[in-house]
Chain A
Amino acid sequence: MSSHIAEIFFRRSRLALWGGGLAIAIVLPLLFKSGFVTSLLCQMGIMVIFALSYNMLLGQTGLLSFGHAVYYGLGAFVSMHAMNLIGKSGGSVTIALLPIVGAVAGLIGGVVLGYVTTKKAGTTFAMISLGIGELVAASALMFPGFFGGEGGISGNRVIPKSSFLGMTWGPQMEVYWLIVAWAFIAAIAMFALTQTPLGRMANAVRDNPERAEFVGYDTQRVRYLMLILSGLFAGIAGSLNAINYEIVTAEALDSHTSGAVLLMTFVGGIGFFYGPIIGAILVTIMQIVIGGLTKAWLMYFGLFFLFMVLMAPGGIASVIAIQRNLWLAGLFGRMVPHYLAAAGPILLTVAGLVGLIEMTYALLAGEGVGAGDAATEVLGAELHLNSPGPWLAALAITLVGVVLLRWVGRRTGSAWNAALAELHGDKA
């Protein structure tokens, strides 16, 4: 058994990926010595754990949950109370171990709530998870003693005498190292879980519950166990969130947080272990970078999500996986000119659409100099929005992009299908 696990872990390419990931996580903040990048990376690390824990349900067990933030929020709130207790007691325990408290909170939450939610799979599970999520979120406002009401509860992570390895957890960088350490521990643990009999049975329960039952497994029990473990890891993420921001509000366990983790996991790709990692990193970057640039970020994100659902339901990870297979089959080189040819029209279409959306926002939301003024600032350019000029220009760019895309797309599409046919033909 141990040699089996060793074989999986020490397969060279996989080890290189984990090592490479760790190296990037360590090098990035040292390269960009700015507070913005550090806090961005901290948020990413937390979301990576959260999204991976979510994919234990959606990707591995086939349970679409609309209330996963409950476990994240519980982990965050309990950790915050624990942090305040440690502060009061004068620093008997180090903050670095706080995620264990969060994990236990998430686990207990999973044991209690999961018993109700995992009785059924499919749509019923989705609905119950939504109901439980709303129930907990609404109750949070009812018990201000524990959840702090509208203002939430706050704490101080810098506790004298609780330093660990010389770290006081005051500077953001030290918190980042803590998050990286926990993210790697959690990610490795979650990956190891996929290789265990439980992880395999979860896949069986997802793909064919009748057969799993026929083989002698209790599908309800498998779902329950997976939900409990998923709650545990979500609790770790919530705990790190509490340490990072030093404040937790009821928002941490409401439906928006549940929706966000669903979106990022799906965009990343639920069919691959590394999918949620990509999704969490990408969506966090979009959220903070694009969200800082434009008010229309939610609109872009919604459109991007719908595009992914319709065009690439396997997420970004599945797109990468197909390219990798093409590369291995020696077909990737053939596709490159097609990709380059399609890139131009795609950029043109996106540019035109962004222009239209930004101008609409500027006109209706009264951004910049002001709606109705002679000139409004859109994306750094002064435009006269009440004249048809800029609108026609943006519309023309979009239309040209779409027409070119249809023309190029047809040829790219047939080349793509030919390559895929050859790929699958090779396999067979």
Chain B
Amino acid sequence: MEFVVISLLNGITYGLLLFMLSSGLTLIFSMMGVLNFAHAGFYMLGAYFAYQISSWVGFWPGLLVAPLLVGVVGAMIERYGLRLAHKFGHVAELLFTFGLAFLVEEVVRLIWGNSSVDYPIPAELDGTLFTLFSTDFPIYKGFMMLISVGMLVALYGLLTRTRIGLIIQAALTKPDMVEALGHNVPRIFMLVFGGGTALAGLAGVIGGNAFITEPSMAAAVGSIVFVVVVVGGLGSLGGAFVASLLIGCIQTFSVALSISVTDVFALVGIALPQGSQISRLTITQLAPVLPYILMVGILIFRPRGLMGARES
């Protein structure tokens, strides 16, 4: 019971963080029809910007400034890079973001070095929020949840309750019509790209000190975010939300489970041959591949994802 509740809380925290990344990715995908390979790179930039700012003026200004900076960088890249690649088609755009991911990692290695940096949790948030069945739940995880849910509500409100949100929604599906009505669609695209990368930056700011801030953090989370977007259904925000929580929970549960594959098969009444390499594997060892197995399964049995509308 204790294990289930604590793992569930951890899974939801991680899942909400994943959603902050995948929501931006999904918005950008609906807009351009292209997955932004460099998205996790912006997550990493957020963490490093926040580290740098917090070492100068503290954590709280960094929480606000770092995502904005990342958003500005993202908007500039859209304006002066991606928009040029757009005329060569989707493959060129995808490859542009692929090269960008490459370059972002190299720049981070150049400026902040190859090893991890010491980006601490602020003292005000360092401590125990509550104790459940003798396990402490840290304040910072509660704070992460608060920020993620706050962001989620703000994003929902922005997209459905404001004028600019309605124009964005319209521009995602019918850009030509929106342009004909006199709106500057390229600028809306730039705003959405900047906004999406700013969300990734915010995830980096609060994820960087909860986990670890190092140059390989983008690659580590990048492929998981793709899994989330594909499992949830390309272009579906609701699907991305469900898939984020699902994969967050799968990862935290599987890391903590020490039963072996043999035990799992025994539960459903299948006895694996003793002594083979597969039967000796534990669920913890399998943890890194579980999201990919889920993704392959989804793509075979439900190619449009959990809640995806389009099947491309």
Contacts and interface: CB of A to CB of B under 8 A. Distances in A.
A, B from the same assembly:
yes
Interface of A: 64, 116, 119-120, 122-124, 126-128, 130-132, 134-135, 138-139, 142-143, 145, 255, 259, 262-263, 266, 296, 298-299, 301-303, 305-306, 309-310, 313, 360-361, 364-365
A299 B110 contact: yes
Contact of A124 (B103, B223, B285, B303): B303
B84 A310 contact: yes
Contact of B296 (A120, A131, A262): A131
Contacts of B132: none
A119 B91 contact: no
Interface of A is mostly: helix
Contacts of A305: 95, 99, 102
6 contacts: A116-B296, A127-B295, A138-B288, A142-B289, A143-B277, A302-B106
Nearest to B223: A134
Contact of B99 (A255, A309, A360, A364): A309
Contact of B98 (A128, A132, A262): A262
Given A116-B299, A120-B312, A138-B289, A302 B94 contact: no
B220 to A, nearest CB: 11
B110 A365 contact: yes
Contact of A142 (B81, B91, B99, B285): B285
B94 A131 contact: no
The 10 nearest A-B residue pairs measured at CB: A302-B103, A135-B292, A313-B88, A305-B99, A138-B288, A138-B289, A306-B99, A302-B102, A131-B295, A313-B92
Contacts, number: 114
Contacts of B103: 299, 302-303, 306
Interface of B: 33-35, 81, 84-85, 88, 90-92, 94-96, 98-100, 102-103, 106-107, 110-111, 113, 219, 223, 226-227, 229-230, 234, 277, 281, 285-286, 288-289, 292-293, 295-296, 299-300, 303, 312
A131 B226 contact: yes
A135 B285 CA distance: 13
A123 B90 contact: yes
Nearest to A141: B288
A298 B102 contact: yes
A131 B292 contact: yes
Q: Which of B95, B103, B286, B295 has the most CB of A within 10 A?
A: B95
Contact of B223 (A130, A301, A306): A130
Nearest to B219: A255
A322 to B, nearest CB: 15
Given A120-B312, A310-B85, A126 B303 contact: no
Given A138-B292, A309-B99, A145 B81 contact: no
Contacts of B98: 259, 262
